[in-house]
Structure 1
């Protein structure tokens, strides 16, 4: 195998970015789930947040964020000018694609449905937390009357009911662990890159780096510079402030793009198969 030189990385990255740019999301919504298809039967069991809806949200998020990253690339004469912006966009692309692939991959319906309920449970949990925090704010600041507060309490209670139902359905189908994004990303890496023993770990490493970018942290920028020693050698201003330049390479960005694209392609293949038959 030829080494990945800077020139080869640039050429391949340009190709991938063009593919992402050409794949323009049209906002038309998901295609029809055929009656009596595998996915329609999964949907019949998941009801509220259906398996097909959760899968389509993941696939769409991956396409949209890859397309947005490609727009940045093409607007800056193919330069790595905003590494944390790329990382933030590609993090969402990676987890969207991984979520979709994770739900669709099992051959057994119970496992697919159990995974769909796990992701639904996580959605309900977060919605319930938001509803409870909004209720607390409204009550503390006295910006709502008693009737409005009661309606908001009922909404928060309904989210909790949905969460508990999804949890029970998940566990009844043998999916014992709650949804965790990092676990799903590691699973996707292990599934897709079995020819490379370090594949799953590589995907997880990419996920960690992009998480740092998305949260506007610094550790990942330091490590892209080579090691923690880069911090000691970073140039400083007269007041001692570090002026650290992010050194994300085109090889780094290529790996991010290809992992997200590869995962989403596998998810789309399964989605098309399961919605038709």
Structure 2
């Protein structure tokens, strides 16, 4: 249990302060996209999808999950063994996706990624509707896909590539290559570890959690697993660092540099 956030290491305290600021900011309307900025040009090319909206939505998702971890630790004052890592996994994915959308210097490439994200959303939505035997309340799936394909063609992109395979792991590999800055495979490492927790994989839980042995009979060991406060806070800090990179990139793209 964490009782006092003032006792955490300075780098974690900085992360907590940043998360609070972001949480307040994301409760307000999104920051204005300035005329003449990179994102204003992107949005003009795909006004029905808007690259700026897609990227900021990813950022707000990351912040929401980070704030949930903070609330668990310092407001509910409880450290779950597994749940915080699932929340961090979602934050890593969302922050990584924002960076993936915004980092390319090429407008055509930013548009391609925005269209690809839109197709993934439409495709997964249809999978759910089919599984639940529900009928769409809005435009038919085929019409929405065709709009994406038409936009791809309009901007000189391969519609089959835009409407092709989606890979979170490939996105995060790109993120590490693009914004590494001495952090190695930070995004991929965080995501892999947190995914291990989310899926209940022993390699992750036994590797990171603290173990208390209760009994052992032959090869059968009874242990109690509990979260390491130090590991969890460091992972929270690193995920906040990744989210900060996404926010900085968003602010760079949305402002006009004269």
Q: What TM-score bracket applies, with the shorter chain setting the length?
A: 0.7 to 0.9
SS in 2 for 1:246: strand
User: Separation in 2 of the partners of 1:107 and 1:249?
Assistant: 40
Answer yes or no: is 1:195 the counterpart of 2:195.
no
Report the CA distance between 1:111 and its aligned residue: 1.4
Answer yes or no: is 1:108 the counterpart of 2:106.
yes
Corresponding position of 2:92: 94
Q: Runs (4+) of structure 1 moved beyond 6 Å?
A: 151-154, 173-177
Report the CA distance between 1:64 and its aligned residue: 1.3
User: Separation in 2 of the partners of 1:222 and 1:255?
Assistant: 18
Corresponding position of 1:50: 50
SS in 2 for 1:97: helix
Answer yes or no: is 1:272 the counterpart of 2:251.
yes
Report the CA distance between 1:236 and its aligned residue: 6.2
Report the CA distance between 1:237 and its aligned residue: 9.0
Q: Higher helix share goes to which structure?
A: 1
Deviation by residue 1:64-114 (Cα, 9 ceiling, x = unmatched): 11111111110355x6x2132211111111111111111111111111111
> Which protein shows a greater Rg?
1
User: Separation in 2 of the partners of 1:170 and 1:69?
Assistant: 42
Corresponding position of 1:132: 130
Corresponding position of 1:246: 225
Corresponding position of 2:141: 156
SS in 2 for 1:245: strand
Work out whether residues 9 and 251 of structure 1, in 8 Å CA contact, stay in contact via their aligned partners in 2.
no
Q: TM-score, normalised by structure 1?
A: 0.73
Distance change in 2, residues 1:165/1:112 (3 Å): same
Corresponding position of 1:69: 69
Q: TM-score, normalised by structure 2?
A: 0.77
Report the CA distance between 1:31 and its aligned residue: 1.8
Superposed CA RMSD in Å reads 3.5
Work out whether residues 124 and 163 of structure 1, in 8 Å CA contact, stay in contact via their aligned partners in 2.
no
For structure 1, which runs of at least 5 residues remain unmatched after alignment?
1-7, 139-148
Q: Higher strand share goes to which structure?
A: 2
Q: Give the 5 Å matches for 1:222-261.
A: 222-225=206-209, 235=214, 243-261=222-240
User: Separation in 2 of the partners of 1:171 and 1:121?
Assistant: 14
User: Separation in 1 of the partners of 2:142 and 2:99?
Assistant: 31
SS in 1 for 2:245: helix
Work out whether residues 182 and 204 of structure 1, in 8 Å CA contact, stay in contact via their aligned partners in 2.
yes
Corresponding position of 1:144: none
User: Separation in 1 of the partners of 2:156 and 2:167?
Assistant: 14
User: Separation in 2 of the partners of 1:166 and 1:92?
Assistant: 29
